[in-house]
């Protein structure tokens, strides 16, 4: 059966032709042959088949190329990228959702929430007095069979979190929906350290093992501090990726 028969484009629909073409391509490339590296039909033919202009078709392809789903090569044609789905900039800061995307089920091994008095540097970061208590959340998370990260978060009193909040929900969803706090900016510091006795225990590794250590300072739209967070990741369980441009 020809492509034209299976995927045809409705010129009278209110949804733009390039969007229809994009959708059709998304479906097309799920097919096994394309997943295995077969070229999609060339632009000129495909445009003809769909009865749209090459320019319009190109808009659709461009989007998928930019998303990293397709790769183009001159003369060689266009095919599905090896390595599949990346889609980076979404899921900003959401650990659980990112893990879900990667197909890794997440289990909470421990979850403690308490009021603590901040140390001097935390009080300074939050710009509050040291006698003002802050909410601390500590979590041990990982795969069902083994934990691989220890998180400690401290929240600015301003955000209004209390012990009654449901910390099993995705954190940034909780902040946004229940407290109207939108995390917008994060400054992070990443380094490698040795596992302390406590961390080693929680992550079930020998004392002194390599740990990826991450400090994170989180701010809202007004660049006001809302969270201070540290994470201890078991080596090899986590890779941090960054893209930068000049």
Q: Whole-angstrom Cα distance, residue 204 to residue 66?
A: 41
192 binds, among DNA, its own copies, none (CB under 5 to 8 A by kind): its own copies
9 neighbors 57 (Cβ within 8 angstroms): no
Phi, psi of 42 (to 5 degrees): -70, 160
41 neighbors 20 (Cβ within 8 angstroms): no
Pick one of 83, 121, 129, 164: the residue that binds its own copies (CB under 8 A): 83
Q: Answer yes or no whether residue 194 interacts with its own copies by CB under 8 A.
A: yes
CB of 212 to DNA, least distance (A): 36
Pick one of 2, 5, 32, 76: the residue that binds DNA (CB under 7 A): 76
Pick one of 43, 67, 152, 178: the residue that binds DNA (CB under 7 A): 43
Q: Whole-angstrom Cα distance, residue 192 to residue 194?
A: 7
56 binds, among its own copies, DNA, none (CB under 5 to 8 A by kind): DNA
Pick one of 38, 63, 72, 138: the residue that binds DNA (CB under 7 A): 72
Q: Answer yes or no whether residue 171 interacts with DNA by CB under 7 A.
A: no
78 neighbors 63 (Cβ within 8 angstroms): no
Q: Whole-angstrom Cα distance, residue 181 to residue 174?
A: 9
DSSP class of 135: E
| Helix, strand, or coil (residue 121) | helix
68 binds, among its own copies, DNA, none (CB under 5 to 8 A by kind): its own copies
Pick one of 4, 15, 130, 238: the residue that binds its own copies (CB under 8 A): 238
Q: Answer yes or no whether residue 80 interacts with its own copies by CB under 8 A.
A: no
CB of 213 to DNA, least distance (A): 32
Question: Using N-to-C axis directions, what is the helix angle for 54-67 and 17-28, rounded to 10°?
Answer: 50
Q: Whole-angstrom Cα distance, residue 213 to residue 190?
A: 6
Give residues in contact with its own copies (CB under 8 A).
62-63, 66, 68, 82-83, 85, 87, 89, 92-93, 183-194, 208-213, 221, 233, 235-236, 238-246
């Amino acid at each position: 059966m020809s492509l034209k028969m299976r995927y045809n484009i409705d010129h009278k629909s209110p949804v733009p032709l390039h969007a229809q073409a994009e959708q059709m391509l998304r479906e097309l490339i799920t097919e096994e042959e394309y997943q295995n590296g077969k070229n999609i039909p060339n632009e000129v033919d495909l445009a003809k088949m769909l009865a749209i202009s090459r320019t319009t078709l190109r808009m659709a392809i461009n989007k998928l190329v930019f998303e990293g789903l397709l790769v183009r090569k001159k003369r060689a044609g266009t095919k599905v990228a090896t390595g599949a789905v990346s889609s980076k900039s979404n899921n900003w800061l959401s650990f659980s959702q990112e893990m879900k995307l990667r197909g890794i089920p997440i289990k909470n091994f421990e979850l403690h929430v308490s009021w603590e008095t901040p140390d001097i540097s935390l009080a300074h970061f939050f710009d509050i007095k040291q006698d003002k208590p802050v909410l601390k959340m500590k979590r041990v998370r990982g795969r069902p069979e083994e934990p691989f990260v220890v998180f400690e978060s401290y929240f600015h009193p301003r955000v209004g979190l209390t012990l009654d909040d449901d910390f099993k929900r995705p954190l940034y969803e909780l902040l946004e929906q229940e407290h109207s706090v939108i995390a917008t900016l994060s400054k992070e510091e990443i380094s490698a350290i040795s596992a302390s006795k406590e961390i080693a225990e929680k992550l079930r590794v020998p004392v002194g093992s390599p740990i990826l250590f991450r400090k994170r300072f989180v701010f809202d739209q007004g660049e006001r501090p809302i969270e201070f967070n540290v994470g201890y990741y078991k080596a090899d369980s986590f890779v941090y990726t960054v893209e930068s441009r000049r």
